[in-house]
Structure 1
Amino acid sequence: MDLLALADFTLVAKHGGFGKASRAAGRPKATLSRRVTELEEALSLRLFERGGRTIKLTEEGRALFERTYALLSELDDTAAVIASGGGTPRGRLRISAPLLFSQIAMGRIAAEFALRYPEIQLEVTTDDREVDMIEEGYDLVIRVNPKTNEGLVGRAFLRDRLVVAASPRFVRLNEGEIVRAVMRGAGGGNGWTVIKDGGRSHIAFEPILRLSSPIMVRDAVRAGVGAAALPYSLISQDIAAGHLIHWGDVDLPPTALWTLYPTRRLLSARVSAFLDHLRQTFPQGTSEELAAFMTA
């Protein structure tokens, strides 16, 4: 297989068209088109659906792009490391991270990383959706309890737990009463099973307020409108200061934050450096560690 043709195909697929790829690489559009056609003929496959002013990867083309993009990126990274004598990681690193983690921790994590690796151009975007790493050009994504994806590998680096809390001004008159609750988004059931002092109890609730962000929920609970289940790391300081009362830990598995990246035999030096930075920042990966990081 012609490696140059494969590289040109990957360039066109990455930029979403021959014209955009031509401008990005400073290569003639006709040359790129000819190389891709030659590759299609060699493989006896149609890699792009061409129509009007747009092109779209076929199913076979997408499968090839996902493999070649990772492999060619790996070759570029390896060549860069060799050229620099295996020294300091450098280049662009794009990361997608969930909203809450970005708001409470990612700014400081990114700043400390940038100070440590000044030759890496770090770009962090916030998104709770499941991004397409290859098509959208991300090197690493951070996700909460991600679904299994055969094309990605990774590890959990942090775990947080949900706790039920309320303001001291919000008084439960009786142990079995239905309490007013502040919920994040739709759904959520009608009760929490909580663990406290080694025992389990059930707290029935009625949602009276629904908000889209955990930080909004926390602020509403601080105001005394009702109780809520929130990440421990987000409200540990309020609990310690007496601004919120801890009613118990929700009887559910911890929420896990994962780092995910495309399956490769060799990680880029930039991704490896960021993974090491996270491991050093959260060596135990507990909710208490995240809470301490936020209040440091």
Structure 2
Amino acid sequence: MDLLSLSDFVLVARHGGFGRAARAAGRPKATLSRRVAELEASLGLRLFERGSRMLKLTEEGRALHERIGALLTEIDETAAAIASGGNTPRGRLRISAPLLFSQTAMGKIAAGFALKYPEVRLEITNEDRAVDMIEEAYDLVIRVNPAPDASLVGRAFLHDRLVVVASPDFSSPVGDVAVPGVVRGAGSQQVWNVSGAKGSETIRVDPVLALSSLIMVRDAVRAGVGVARLPISLVSNDLADGSLRHLGDVEGAGIALWALYPSRRLLSARVSAFLEFLKHAFPNGTPDELAAYIGK
């Protein structure tokens, strides 16, 4: 098994046939067929199902293509970078980030990164779903408290915590009476466990307003609709100037933002540069740093 055979296999797999791959690459069809056959012989595996009119990857072929295709792309990019004078970040960088972080901080981060690395074409989408990085061609994703994923590696670059807040004229609940609340998404009556100056206590909440954005939730709480659970970084300035009142910290509700990328790929200069940029923006990864960044 050699690199040329692997490269020809990926070429044929991407184009779905020897003829189309040969035309796209300007190479003899017989040469591609021979190299793929040699690769199959060296592996002792059949990589393609060969029909009279079509060529289809076997299960083993698909697995090999998923692992090798991205690696060969990175090798090509590395070679091009070296040939052009080093590891200067360049090319397209696609990132998926959660909605709140995108709305509050990502615009400034993206602008600063674009000014520092003008040869990178940065594309950022904001969504809270767990995107499929390989299928949707993302280079990096930012996720909140991600579930373990063996196909991804990365690091937490920011930490936050949830607090319960209300407007200054809000009357604290007495006994087991439910208080009006503003929540993200639909919800029935809830019980929030909080810790504050009086120790641990529970707040029974009746969601009277359900909104799709935490910024909308904050604005509604400012207007006096009810209580809400919000990241401390989002309301630090409001708490400092008295626009909101702190009722307690939500127990067991730590928040970590992770920057993740596929473990099967070589880490490109673009991704490395963006990770370093995040580290520079939030050197200690604290809620205070994010709050200060939002307030700039």
Q: TM-score range by the shorter chain?
A: 0.7 to 0.9
> In the comparison of the two structures, how many residue pairs are matched?
293
Identity of aligned residues (%): 62
Structure 1 CA distance for aligned equivalents of residues 183 and 28 of structure 2: 57
1:180 corresponding residue in structure 2: 180
Tell me which amino acid in the other structure corresponds to 1:139.
D
2:117 corresponding residue in structure 1: 117
> Superposition pairs for residues 3-14 of structure 1, below 5 Å?
3-10=3-10
1:147 corresponding residue in structure 2: 147
After TM superposition, the structure 1 stretch with the greater mean CA deviation from structure 2, 200-209 or 227-236, is: 200-209
Tell me which amino acid in the other structure corresponds to 1:96.
S
The two structures, once aligned, show a CA RMSD in angstroms of 3.3
How far off its partner does 1:102 sit?
Answer: 0.8
Which TM-score applies when normalising by structure 1?
0.84
1:84 corresponding residue in structure 2: 84
Tell me which amino acid in the other structure corresponds to 2:127.
D
Structure 2 CA distance for aligned equivalents of residues 56 and 144 of structure 1: 38
How far off its partner does 1:77 sit?
Answer: 3.2
How far off its partner does 1:210 sit?
Answer: 1.5
State the Cα deviation string for residues 137-176 of structure 1 (Å, max 9, x = none): 1111111111111111111000111010111243336365
2:196 corresponding residue in structure 1: 196
| Structure 2 unaligned regions, length at least 5 | none
Structure 2 CA distance for aligned equivalents of residues 59 and 82 of structure 1: 35
1:267 corresponding residue in structure 2: 267
> Superposition pairs for residues 38-49 of structure 1, below 5 Å?
38=37, 41-42=40-41, 43=43, 45=45, 47=47
How far off its partner does 1:208 sit?
Answer: 1.6
2:258 corresponding residue in structure 1: 258
How far off its partner does 1:60 sit?
Answer: 2.9
State the Cα deviation string for residues 165-201 of structure 1 (Å, max 9, x = none): 1112433363653211111124476211112237222
1:239–1:245 CA contact under 8 A, matched in 2: yes
How far off its partner does 1:227 sit?
Answer: 0.5
Task: Label 1:59 to 1:217 Cα distance change in 2 as closer, same or farther (>3 A).
Answer: farther
After TM superposition, the structure 1 stretch with the greater mean CA deviation from structure 2, 240-249 or 30-39, is: 30-39
How far off its partner does 1:17 sit?
Answer: 5.2
| Structure 1 unaligned regions, length at least 5 | none
2:243 corresponding residue in structure 1: 243
Greater CA radius of gyration, 1 or 2? 2
Which TM-score applies when normalising by structure 2?
0.84
1:5–1:38 CA contact under 8 A, matched in 2: no
The answer on 1:27 being equivalent to 2:25 is yes
